[in-house]
Structure formats: structure tokens, C-alpha cells
Amino acid sequence: MKDLLRVADLSPEDLADLLRRAEEFMRHPLAAHDLLRGRTVLLYFAKPSTRTRISSETAVARLGGTPVAVGPAELQLGRGETIEDTARVISSYTAAVIIRTFADQDVRTFASAAQVPVINALTDGHHPLQALADLMTLREHVGDLRGRKIAYVGAATNVTHSLMEAAAPAGLSIAVATPPAYAPDPAVEATTRKLSTGGDLLLTGDPLEAVEGADAVYTDVWLSMGDPPEEKAARVAALSPYRVTAELMSAAGPDAIFLHCLPAHRGEEVTAEVIDGPRSRVFRQAANRLPTVQAVLEALL
Ligand code: CP
Ligand code: NVA
């Protein structure tokens, strides 16, 4: 495997190895401190980021390298240099590239032209690094994920897609409750079904059906960075019945935890009572972004 562009790029063995290694990096942060000595990793972020950007820069430092972070205004890409030329040139300087942008096709184009590993740090369609931290956090709560269940409630997003694709090789059942207009991409649904190793995939319009027996309830923002801002009012109207409330949490399993990739909007997709309450693991989940990206960098290098 040269790149990590979506979770479906990972075999069940790759996924298990990454999670195991991330758990080791959590305990021993400097376990591979010489891997990137004298080398750089480019971070290109065309959208804002708190967790992914800072955890990735820190992971590069922990592996002994130097992160080089640039935005769209700083590269000649913004003046029309092609993605392919940019990828070829950057490959001659850096050990790997971590990219957050809009269209998934742009990251695929970059990765095909690059001679170094390329990691998707969030596109409109996928957020594979997030899904690794999500599974790591759930494993900390329940141990082996086989036979367990996660429920996602809200608008299907890049985060939902990567979670679905991660559940499949992990043997984790996933139920996704969305209004019909904000359902997951049918292509991701098909991939998830194809890659399933025993877990179920349920797509429903009913949040109560989705959370029944779940070990975790997950949500994400109702308007993602790649969505048109003028959709906000329609989304709030359609998604209000999908807010994660204390009542919805009590319909899940008695030990169910609450997960959210963050940033969160209290009072929209989740109430403050839930995200700031005793079942919430969102800050542990955010902390797990660091050892997971460290594991990905090590595996690809
Ligand atoms: N969850 C996540 O990717 O957060 P950032 O947008 O802050 O990186
Ligand atoms: N779905 C959200 C995730 C942010 C980490 C977005 O793309 O804005």
C-alpha cells in the first residue's frame, strides 16, 4: 500500500496492525523517533483544521522529522501549476504528503503522480484518519470490535463514509440514521457491503432503530466544510429530529458511549448535556488522532 486515500484501501490485516501500533504509540510516543530523521513531511490544508493539522505535525516530530505546512495561497497551484507537476516536484523533497482538500479526485490525481506516500487528511468524501481514531476509541471501551455495534445519527458526511468503511473490515456492525436527502453515498454503501467481514450495515430514517443495542452513538456536524452554506436552514429543519439527546442515548445500550469527530455545535447535532456528560469520549477520541496518524506514517514509510 503506497497511499491512504480512503479506509477501503486497507485490508482487515492492515487495519488491525494500524490499531495495534497506534495503541503502542499511545503508550510509547517516541517508539520510532528516528524514522524520519533529516526528512520532511508536507502538509497541504485547503480547509481549516485543528485536530488533523496539529496531530499530524506532532506525529512527524515524534517520528524525528520536520513538518512543512502550506495553504493554497502559498503554492503555485493557486496560480495554475498542475496537480501532477506539483506532486512530482514535492516528491523530490519530502518523505510523505498529507492533504486536506475538497474533491476526492484531486487527492487521487496527486497520489498517482507522487512518488511518495499520500495521506488523505479529509476530503468531501472521506476522512480515513478520523475513522482510525474512532475505532481505537471504541476498542478502548469494548475491546474486540467483532460482534459490537456503532450507530451514526445525523447527516451522512465524509466521517460517516470512513466509519462505514472501517466498520466492515473490523467486523463491527453499523447502523446509520439520516433523513433520505442526507443518506450516505450509495457507492460507499456498496463498498461497505462488499468488504463486510460479518458485521451488519443498516441504513434507516429512524434514530431509535439505529441506536438500539449500540455500544456507541456517533454524530457529526450538519453542514460540512465542503457543503454550500446556503443549505444551512434546510439542513437544520430536516435534521432536528436527528439531534443526539439524552433521551436518544438512553435508548442505546446501557453502557453506550458518545462519539463526535469534532468540531461540535452544541444544540445542533448534539445537546451540551450529552457531549459534556459522563458517556462522552470525544476528547479521548480527539487525543487518539495523534497515535493513529503516527501509525499510518510509520506503516506507509
Ligand atoms: N476531526 C477533525 O478532523 O478535526 P479538524 O477539522 O480540526 O482537523
Ligand atoms: N464533516 C465535517 C468533518 C470535520 C472534521 C466536515 O467535513 O466539515
Confidence of residue 110 (pLDDT cuts 50, 70, 90): very high
- Probe target for ligand 1 pocket from 56, 163, 225, 289, with the most ligand atoms within 8 Å of CB: 289
Domain 7-126+289-300 matching CATH 2.40.50.140: the answer reads no
Residues serving a catalytic function are 100, 127, 130, 220, 261, 289
Is the pLDDT score of 253 beyond 90? no
How far from 146 is each of 19, 170, 172, 199, 256, CA to CA, in Å? 14, 6, 5, 7, 16
117, 132, 118: which is closest to 301 by C-alpha? 117
Pocket of ligand 2 (CB under 6 A): 122, 157-159, 220-221, 224-226, 261
Q: Is the CB of 50 under 6 A from ligand 1?
A: yes
Q: How far apart are CA 260 and CA 270, in angstroms?
A: 9
At 29-38, the pLDDT tens digits run 999 999 999 9
157 lines ligand 1 (CB under 6 A): no
What is the rounded average pLDDT of the residues 227-247? 98
pLDDT per residue as tens digits for the range 149-172: 999 999 999 999 999 999 999 999
At residue 200, does pLDDT exceed 90? Answer: yes
Backbone phi and psi for residue 228, each to the nearest 5 degrees, phi listed first: -65, 125
Choose among 298, 291, 289: nearest CA to 121. Answer: 289
Whether ligand 1 lies within 6 angstroms of the CB of 283 is answered as no
Question: Is the domain 130-286 a CATH 3.40.50.1370 member?
Answer: yes
What's the whole-number average pLDDT of the chain?
Answer: 98
Q: Where are the domains of the chain?
A: 7-126+289-300, 130-286
Q: Would you say the CATH fold of 130-286 matches that of 7-126+289-300?
A: yes
pLDDT of residue 193: 98
